[in-house]
Amino acid sequence: MSTRPGEANPPRTLLIACGALAREVVDLIRLNGWRHMTVSCLPAAWHNTPARIPEGVRGKIRDARGRYDSIKVLYGDCGSGGLLDAVLEEEGVERIPGPHCYAFYAGLAAFDGLAEEEPGTFYLTDYLVRHFDRLVIQGLGLDRHPELLDDYFGNYTAVLYLAQTEDPALEAQARAAAERLGLAYRHRFTGMGGLADFMAAEAPAAR
């Protein structure tokens, strides 16, 4: 990254992210010109085996030591039962606040309000809408055993699509996903929410 004479480069930052956030993180870096940021992702599929996440993150932290001025983690707890936070405390690395991506997209207080208002809600993000068939239908085996639909979703009442982009095609896919699950459909545009705020705090040159 080039600078003008007498102008210091901003600290080089590594963002260790869930693969489900990769597209949004890369878009934010590109759109804001945060060229001092590098993103390294772990597989989004690890949400199905969350015990792998803490040590996977630790491995990336240790691999990056000495090569970056700052390391930040773009993960919620994501089902690790507090183990990810324990690893980050041991390694001295900060993560984005919040239990999961739904909360930091919507805003922590706003998400708490949504969850309290309608507890039987199944949440979608842009990533989950794009990969709904693979992650939900195939991932839960509903393509092979559709009779399990009520076992998985019988206690849900609605799908809420927390949208990062205003994309009519994605909204149509989200609406179709709700219909396929037999649930009411809701839509709320969040944009990048707390993800953008957290990254911006690591971008002093862009402020």
H/E/C letters for each residue in the chain? CCCCCCCCCCCCEEEEEEHHHHHHHHHHHHHHCCCCEEEEEECHHHHHCCCHHHHHHHHHHHHHCCCCCEEEEECCCCCCCCHHHHHHHHHCCEECCCCCHHHHHHCHHHHHHHHHHCCCEEEECHHHHHCHHHHHHHCCCCCCCHHHHHHHHCCCCEEEEEECCCCHHHHHHHHHHHHHHCCEEEEEECCCHHHHHHHHCCCHHHC
Number of domains in the chain: 2
Do residues 71 and 115 share a domain? no
Q: pLDDT digits over 68-108, tens only?
A: 999 999 999 989 999 999 999 999 999 999 999 999 999 99
Predicted local confidence at residue 204, as pLDDT? 61
Do residues 127 and 145 share a domain? yes
| Residue 35 domain-assigned (yes or no) | yes
Predicted local confidence at residue 108, as pLDDT? 95
For the whole model, what pTM was predicted? 0.88
| Residue 153 domain-assigned (yes or no) | yes
Predicted local confidence at residue 36, as pLDDT? 94
Domain harbouring 49, CATH code: 3.40.50
Which residues of the chain are modeled with pLDDT < 70? 1-10, 204-207
Domain that includes residue 27, residue range: 13-99+194-206
